[in-house]
Amino acid sequence: MLLLFAALACKQPVTVDREVNAAWSADGSEVLIVHSLYDTRAPDEPHFNAPKAHEWRIELELADAGLGARESLVGWDELGDQAGGVGYEPMFWLSEQRKMVGSEYAMPFVHDVDSGEHLEIQPSDDVLDELFGPHARAAAPRGAVPSPDGSLIGIPLSAPVETGDFALDVYSAIAFYDLDGEYQGGAQIPYPDLGIDVRLYGADPTNAWVWYFLWQADSSAVYAIDGRAAFSVTTAGQITEVTEIPEYAVPTRGGTVNDAGEALTGGPSTHDGNETQIVIEPLTGWVPFDLIELIPHGTEDYSI
């Protein structure tokens, strides 16, 4: 028994390396790949329930369009015994600015891949008062999407708002920030959303109570769309109801799908799914962001 304990104690930790997310540059020439790594003496434990895992960290690589010729960039350390949430949410690579935009557990961030500066964007109380009024409670960000030109970040927010007689409605708002985390303006959507998060990708055709968040091609405004209404929200904070919206729910340039309709997805895995690699899979029927046309609201089918 003592020999068994000694053998276990001497077992050296190994590093589990998971390629968990990736994004194309806007021109499709580069891919930023996110690695979630941790050390463990039990590499067969699933990463989502790995009590022996420690030293969680994010490492970044810049690859060419074929996922080769990789260059190591500056990542960041993650706190806590379990991390890696950045692998499950939309991310974007601003190649000219050398910055990654994304969110981890819905908290927006901007990461400088050269200096390692990692900036989380949490709206201040003054911003929340401006967008929701003094009776808003605990407004929460719902992700981050950069403008097509990479100059601004649009952040959907959701907050319960007191409406009188101890009643609450949940409202959404759009806030705009620059890449330094400075607030630039925003506006509240004048419809309650019943607590459903603003959606950045995908669709549920059975659920009409979902706001879609799509940038306009000239970076001057975003569309906020659901089954009841559609609005244009300018970066100066002006909001207007509109009758025409983009035909396809593509939020901005770049991201996980390039203009050629090539998607970056998780590939083969080992260690019971712990170690994964990003692969490229072609999509059918994809329309490049700049070629999406406007159609009457109510005729779109965002389930495709």
Distance CA 60, CA 75 (A): 5
Per DSSP, the three-state class of 193 is coil
User: What are the tens digits of pLDDT across the range 230-257?
Assistant: 999 999 999 999 999 999 888 999 899 9
Most confident of 76-85, 178-187, 279-288: 178-187
> Does pLDDT of 36 surpass 80?
yes
Nearest to 173 by CA among 207, 203, 216, 128: 128
> What is the pLDDT at residue 207?
53
Cβ-contact 119, 56 below 8 angstroms = no
| 209 — pLDDT class (breaks 50, 70, 90) | low
> What is the pLDDT at residue 4?
47
Q: Has this prediction a pTM greater than 0.85?
A: yes
The per-residue b/e assignment along 53-78, b for 16 or more CB within 10 angstroms, e otherwise, is: beebbbbbbbbebebeeeeebebeeb
Per DSSP, the three-state class of 45 is coil
> What is the pLDDT at residue 304?
57
> Does pLDDT of 192 surpass 90?
no
